[in-house]
Amino acid sequence: MKSQSKKWIRWAQFAGALTVLGSFAVACGSSSNTADTTAPAETAAPAAPAETAAPAAEAIVKTIAILAPEAGNDFGWNQQGVDSAKAAAAELGIEVIVADNLGYGDITPNLRELADQADFIIAHASGYNTAAPEVGAEFKKPVAIVDTPDALKAGLVADYTASPNEGAYLAGVLAAKTTRSGKLGIVVSGEPPSWNSQSAGFADGAKSVDPKIKLLYSIIGPAAYADAEGANRVTKTLIAAGADVIFGQGDGSSFGMLSAIEETPAADGGKVLFIDVIGNKTSIDKGFLLSSVLWDFKSAFVDMIKDVNAGTYGSRNYALNLKNGSISLLKTPLITDAVWAEIEAVKASIINGSLVVENVMDAAGVRSRMSKTTEGK
């Protein structure tokens, strides 16, 4: 008896919830968007060969979309991506849709919605490099992905990869010339390839100035990406170990590094200085920001859109490097003109090819460059 009526309530709840949700939806969403009915079934089939999938010639990009895993105002990877996309769109006079904070989970719902709305998709996270081309193929929309140069596909997929190792090399030179203690700290929140590349570049740059320089390298901890507290702790530990310049790579956690540096004097009682990556934290700096390896995606994005319009997209990848100016070192008042001039010289030799900076992507390669605390002084 009793259980019977309970069953009723359960199923009625189910039906009720659906009906009311439905009617609510009809009421609110009567301005139905016809675009929703696109995405024909045959696109569900595996990606067609590239040559047939090329978009029609008249496809001119009117709207672009950028998908970023974290907040678009993080003074780092996400902000640089979003700002660059906006700048590129402004330059070309087109629309931009920004989708940030998307995380690293199942990205396909957002990808499909944006693929439906925009003519060109920038999937601004290495974690999106599998899903984005798949959805792009489904919707016959060109997508841009990162850190996956081999995925090139005519009309559909191209990659933009930075060579931040060159910029980091300059940062290493700067750090080595700035340090008083001869010890540099590198704090990272994880070991993705682009950060490995910067860590190694930084190490090589520093050693080019002083081969005996000590490099202290540490990953923050188990919950690293937003772990500002852990970043603060590890940074202080490295300062205690003697580092007076910290090269920090981490999203939310990089703010923890900055605050540790502001709070903690170096072993000699002087300031510890911070070298950031990707973004520009000048506006929130309190006089500790020595520099930053800036990444600017704008020219890459502009080139991509132009190639899409020209029908040549997918025939080449897009590079961020010192040469085209999309990787640069931030000049702050803490850098003396003399040191800056030396750095400019190194930069010139990298650009003209006389100095080649090795690009190391794997963790083992990074670790082999670092000093061990157990080594003698």
Partner 1 sequence: MSALHDETTVVAAERVSAIEGRLTRIGRSMATAMIPVIGAFVIGGLLLAVLGRNPFSFYGNVIHHGLIGSLGRQETLIRMAPLLLIAAGLMIAFPAGIWNLGTDGQYVMGGVIVADLGPELAPHFSGFVLFTTLFVVGFAVAAIWSLIPAILKAWYGINEIISTLMLTFIGLRFSAFLVKEYFYDRETTVPQTRVLAVADRLPRMFSSRVHIGLVVGFVAVIAVHFMMRNTAFGLRLRIVGMNPKAAIHAGMNMKALTLAIFTLSAGFAGLAAAVNIAGVDGVVRAEWNPAVGLLVVPLVFLARFHAASVIAFIAAFAVFQVGGESASRKADIPNFMVLFMVGLLLVFMALGEYMQLRSSRKH
Partner 2 sequence: MNGLFSEVFISSLVSGGVIAGIPLIYAGLGEAISERAGVLNVGLEGMMLGGAYGGFVGALHFHSTWFGLLSGGLTGMIISLFMVVLCVRLNSNQIVVGIAITLGAEGVTALLHGAIYADTYPRVPVVHPYAIPFLSNIPIIGPGFFNHHISAYLAVVVVFFVSWVLKSTGIGLSIKAAGDQPHALEAAGGGVHRIRTISVLSTGLLAGLGGSFIVLVGAGLFVPFITNGKGFLAIVLAMLVRGRVRWLIVAGVLFGMSLSLTTALQLAGIDVPIDLVLMLPFVLIIVVLFAFGRRSYLPAALALPYDREQR
* Interaction site with partner 2 (CB under 8 A): 71, 73-75, 183, 191, 214, 216-219, 221-223, 226-234, 236-237, 239-242, 252-253, 255-256, 258-260, 262-263, 267, 283-284, 286, 363, 367, 370-377
| Least distance from partner 2 to the Cβ atom of residue 274, Å | 13
Outline where DSSP puts E strands in the chain.
63-67, 95-99, 120-123, 143-146, 157-162, 183-188, 214-219, 245-249, 273-278, 289-295, 318-320, 327-329
Per partner kind, with CB cut-offs from 5 to 8 A, the member of partner 1, partner 2, none near residue 285 is none
| Least distance from partner 1 to the Cβ atom of residue 263, Å | 29
Q: Which is nearer to partner 1, 12 or 345 (CB)?
A: 12
Tell me: does residue 264 bind partner 1 (CB under 8 A). no
Instruction: Name 115's Cβ contacts closer than 8 Å, sequence gap at least 6.
Output: 65, 121, 135, 136, 138, 139, 141, 143
Per partner kind, with CB cut-offs from 5 to 8 A, the member of partner 1, partner 2, none near residue 99 is partner 1
Residue 58 Cα distances to 48, 61, 361, angstroms: 20, 9, 40
Select from 147, 166, 204, 251 the one that contacts partner 1 (CB under 8 A): 147
Tell me: does residue 57 bind partner 1 (CB under 8 A). no
The pairing of beta strand 63-67 with beta strand 120-123: parallel
Q: Which is nearer to partner 1, 48 or 267 (CB)?
A: 48
| Least distance from partner 1 to the Cβ atom of residue 182, Å | 32
Footprint (CB under 8 A) of partner 1, residues 105-124: 105-106, 108-110, 112-113, 116
The pairing of beta strand 289-295 with beta strand 327-329: antiparallel
Q: Which stretch binds partner 1 (CB under 8 A): 92-100, 167-175, 309-317, 343-351?
A: 92-100
Cα 230 to Cα 236: distance, rounded to the nearest angstrom: 10
Beta bridge partners of 99: 67
Select from 63, 129, 299, 324 the one that contacts partner 1 (CB under 8 A): 129
| Least distance from partner 2 to the Cβ atom of residue 122, Å | 22
266, 264, 267: which is closest to 256 by C-alpha?
264
Per partner kind, with CB cut-offs from 5 to 8 A, the member of partner 2, partner 1, none near residue 230 is partner 2
Footprint (CB under 8 A) of partner 1, residues 189-248: 190, 192-193, 222
DSSP letter (8 states) at residue 282: G
For residue 160, report the phi and psi dihedrals to the nearest 5 degrees.
-120, 120
Cα 67 to Cα 96: distance, rounded to the nearest angstrom: 11
Cα 114 to Cα 346: distance, rounded to the nearest angstrom: 42
| Least distance from partner 1 to the Cβ atom of residue 137, Å | 8
Q: Is the dihedral of CA 179, 360, 248, 163 positive or negative?
A: positive
For residue 67, report the phi and psi dihedrals to the nearest 5 degrees.
-110, 125
Tell me: does residue 52 bind partner 1 (CB under 8 A). no
For residue 371, report the phi and psi dihedrals to the nearest 5 degrees.
-80, 155
Q: Which is nearer to partner 2, 124 or 183 (CB)?
A: 183
In the complex, the residues that contact partner 1 under the rule CB under 8 A are 1, 5, 7-22, 24-29, 32-33, 35-39, 41, 44-47, 71, 97-102, 104-106, 108-110, 112-113, 116, 126-127, 129-131, 134, 137-138, 147-150, 190, 192-193, 222, 361, 363
